[in-house]
């Protein structure tokens, strides 16, 4: 965990203007996550994207995940050598339930009050954001970048975005992102049955999963 503190210190020392925060369970990280972050970086002109693995995702408390250490190591392999990608161990170090409003407050403290913080999210998460703890603070104080994946519900999303903009005056930006029909659930199911994940996750991550016997019953 000392290592994580060092990472966060580097973040603080190299403040950039526009920062994307991609929070996730990353169980495991896959090319859908990487592509979402890359598209956000390029299309919105972010200076960096910080990946923040959750200790315990509030809506997934009943699910068993790979340990935080394993999920973090896989993320490190996935973002290695990618310009503009960083990882914060904030939620893993805080332990317990990872509430996004606390994380975003912490990122603002770390990056300074003038930093422009964009929470990057897929549609499923965004559609439920009004149920997140302290959602009104989240929606008033921060901006959002929404990416989609095949099968997303455009009408429901439009309705939700327009309601949130009306109530909270939230800045919400849309990506025209690469459509990748990939989910961590599908990857875990394949791995449980001993089927390689194919080209859904970076090769180094697949090797790590095999070496550590993750996601096998």
Please give the residue ranges that form the binding site for ligand NAP (CB under 6 A): 23-26, 32-33, 36, 54, 57-60, 98-100, 121-125, 132-133, 147, 149, 180, 182-184
Rounded Cα–Cα distance for residues 151 and 205 (Å) = 26
Residue closer to ligand NAP by CB (options 7, 134) is 134
Least distance (Å) from ligand NAP to the CB of residue 148?
Answer: 7
Least distance (Å) from ligand NAP to the CB of residue 200?
Answer: 9
Residue closer to ligand NAP by CB (options 13, 39) is 39
Which single residue brings its beta carbon nearest to ligand NAP? 122
Residue closer to ligand NAP by CB (options 121, 197) is 121
DSSP string, 55-116: SB-GGGTTS----HHHHHHHHHHHHTT-TTEEE--HHHHH-SB--HHHHHHHHHHHH-TT-E
Q: Which of 63, 197, 33 is nearest to 209 (CA)?
A: 197
Residue closer to ligand NAP by CB (options 114, 174) is 174
Burial 73-91 (b: 16+ CB within 10 A, else e): ebbbbbbeeeebbbbbbbb
| DSSP-derived pairing of the beta strands 48-53 and 85-87 | parallel
**CB-based contact 69:28 (threshold 8 Å):** no
Least distance (Å) from ligand NAP to the CB of residue 79?
Answer: 14
Residue closer to ligand NAP by CB (options 17, 186) is 186
**CB-based contact 143:170 (threshold 8 Å):** yes
DSSP string, 20-46: EEEEE--TT--HHHHHHHHHHHHHHT-
Least distance (Å) from ligand NAP to the CB of residue 180?
Answer: 4
**H helices, E strands: number in the chain:** 10, 6
Least distance (Å) from ligand NAP to the CB of residue 11?
Answer: 17
Residue closer to ligand NAP by CB (options 99, 142) is 99
Least distance (Å) from ligand NAP to the CB of residue 33?
Answer: 5
């Amino acid at each position: 965990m000392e290592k994580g503190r060092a990472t966060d210190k580097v973040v603080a020392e190299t403040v950039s203007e526009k920062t994307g925060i991609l929070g996730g369970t990353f169980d495991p990280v896959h090319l859908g996550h990487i592509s979402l972050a890359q598209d956000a970086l390029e299309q919105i002109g972010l200076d960096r994207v910080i990946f923040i693995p959750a200790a315990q995702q509030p809506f997934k408390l009943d699910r068993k995940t790979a340990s935080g250490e394993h999920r973090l190591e896989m993320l490190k392999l996935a973002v290695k050598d990618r310009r503009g990608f960083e990882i914060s161990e904030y939620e893993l170090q805080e332990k317990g339930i990872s509430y996004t409003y606390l994380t975003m407050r912490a990122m603002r403290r770390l990056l300074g009050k003038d930093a422009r913080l964009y929470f990057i999210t897929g549609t499923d998460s965004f559609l439920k954001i009004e149920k997140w703890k302290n959602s009104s603070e989240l929606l008033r104080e921060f901006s959002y970048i929404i990416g989609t994946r095949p099968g997303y519900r455009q009408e429901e999303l439009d309705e939700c975005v327009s309601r949130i903009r009306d109530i909270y005056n939230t800045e919400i930006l849309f990506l025209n992102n690469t459509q990748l029909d990939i989910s961590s659930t599908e990857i875990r199911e394949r791995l449980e049955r001993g089927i390689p994940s194919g080209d859904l996750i970076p090769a180094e991550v697949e090797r790590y999963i095999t070496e550590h016997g993750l996601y096998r019953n």
